[in-house]
Chain A
Amino acid sequence: MKMAKCVVWDLDDTLWRGTLSAGDDIVVEPQIIETVKTLDERGILQSIASKNNHDDAMRKLEEFGMAEYFLHPQINWNSKSSSLTALQAKLNIGLDTFVFIDDQEFERDEVTFVHPDVETIDAADRFLLTTLPRLSPAHVTEDARRRRLAYQEAERRDRSELEFQGPHDEFLRSLGMVLTISRAGGDDLLRLEELTHRTSQLNSTGIHYSYDELEKLLDDPGHDLWVCELRDRYGSYGKIGMALVEKSGGQWTIALLLMSCRTVSKGVGTVLLQFLIQRAEAHGTRLLARFRRTDRNRQMLLTYQLANFHVVSRDGADHLFENDLSIVRAYPDHVKVNVDA
């Protein structure tokens, strides 16, 4: 079972009772408001696919105080499958992580026909949504709880980037980014477990770590577990990167390095690696790194090799890198780096 990431609601006779364009008295059942809030708190994103007049429907949602819960509402006269296509592109999550709820069989079938990976649910079962296993994550991290807010902040950021006249790095400078690197604590472990599962592009091995494994590493003097958080003037991106370093004798080996794809365009992908290079140099230890090539992590390979890591040995997809520490660079000037070691 793959966990769902987004619930897409129809409006008439699904999210609310009544047909807006027919001039009905529109009512939202209290349990529906509860359902929307509960899913939101679980870190499940929500949106809308409704055939309605956009402005009228949005005004109604505002009236009910519900508009803020929905990302990129698709309220238009196009097919629902095309609304799902648009949402998939905007949210950048797999179609197999969407759940679509609608009272009309025709609409559910149309979506299934075009997107067989989308799970469809009859509005008659609307009160059961919060009991579905795919919508009931075992753990809810702080990052999950504020996931919708993070998407909304990202949207504002993207808008101001579009409006920004000038080169990209000047825009990055204007964001006032602060990256804080610290040792992981017990309350970071859920998020770190989640990061190892959700991150594929900027991930040095693609190996998943469980909560229990991470908890053991946290207390192990032979390992350093680093976590980093990124903030800018729009808010926090949350905990977006981690590094696991094995320490033995006079050498450190980076067993895992990853950065969330949320930050890929922010030019901070190299900072954590630069931090480890600077630290190894200051401690006078050798610095090695394990790297496993996957079909997704070319950017991480590029990041390592441009940071002057060289292949020492190789076994199929598994590489061992070493950095001779002859080149130690300063952090990029568009991000302020705080280290809390």
Chain B
Amino acid sequence: MHDSGSPVDAAPGVDVRESIRGYLRDNITVLGDDELRDDDNIFDKGFVSSIFAMQLLAHIESTFDVEVPDDYLSLQRFSSVERMTEMVEELRKVRRG
């Protein structure tokens, strides 16, 4: 998935969002049947433990082949599907130079 011609790179907006949403849905059961909207604050909706945050970070870094720098590890950037998607796209732009 690291080549520039791969599906994730070809349609960044859709797949990044989809992937992050899917990961959250699979791993936060407190959400139950509630609809998770892309702008919902996941910290308000359900408890995000320190270990889950680490797993989420590892998922983002390995799936999208980005490295999240220290100053990006903030509540704002991780608060919702929307924000995380923006972050990934921003980091990929930096990577492409």
Contacts and interface: CB of A to CB of B under 8 A. Distances in A.
Interface of A: 167-170, 202, 264-270, 293, 298-299, 301-303, 305-308, 310-311, 327, 329, 332-333
A306 B54 contact: no
A168 B27 contact: yes
Interface residues of B, number: 20
B26 to A, nearest CB: 8
A308 B75 contact: yes
A302 B50 contact: yes
B57 A167 contact: no
Interface stretch (B7-15, B41-49, B84-92): B41-49
Contacts of A167: 27, 29
Contacts, number: 59
Given A169-B29, A299-B50, A306-B53, 10 more contacts: A168-B27, A267-B47, A267-B49, A267-B52, A270-B50, A298-B70, A298-B73, A301-B73, A306-B73, A307-B75
B47 A306 contact: no
Contacts of A332: 47, 49
5 contacts: A167-B27, A264-B51, A270-B49, A302-B53, A306-B50
A152 to B, nearest CB: 23
Nearest to A265: B51
Contact of A269 (B28, B43, B51, B71): B51
B6 interface: no
Q: Interface SS of chain B: helix, strand, loop or mixed?
A: helix
A267 B48 CA distance: 9
Contact of A303 (B47, B50, B70): B50
Given A169-B30, A170-B29, A270-B49, A305 B75 contact: yes
B4 interface: no
B75 A306 contact: yes
B78 interface: yes
Contact of B70 (A202, A265, A293, A333): A293
A332 B52 CA distance: 12
Contacts of B43: 306, 327, 329
Contacts of B51: 264-267, 269
A332 B49 CA distance: 8
Contacts of A270: 49-50
A263 to B, nearest CB: 9
Interface string B18-30: 0000000001111
Given A301-B70, A302-B57, A305-B74, A333 B48 contact: no
Interface in B56-97: 57, 70-71, 73-75, 78
Nearest to B78: A306
A327 B76 CA distance: 12
Contacts of A268: 49
Contacts of A168: 27
A169 B43 CA distance: 15
Contacts of A310: 74
A293 B70 CA distance: 10
Given A170-B29, A303-B53, A329-B43, A311 B71 contact: yes
A80 B23 CA distance: 41
Pick from B43, B47, B52 the residue with the most CB of A within 10 Å.
B47
Contacts of A170: 29
Nearest to B28: A169
Nearest to A166: B29
Contacts of B48: 306
A327 B64 CA distance: 30
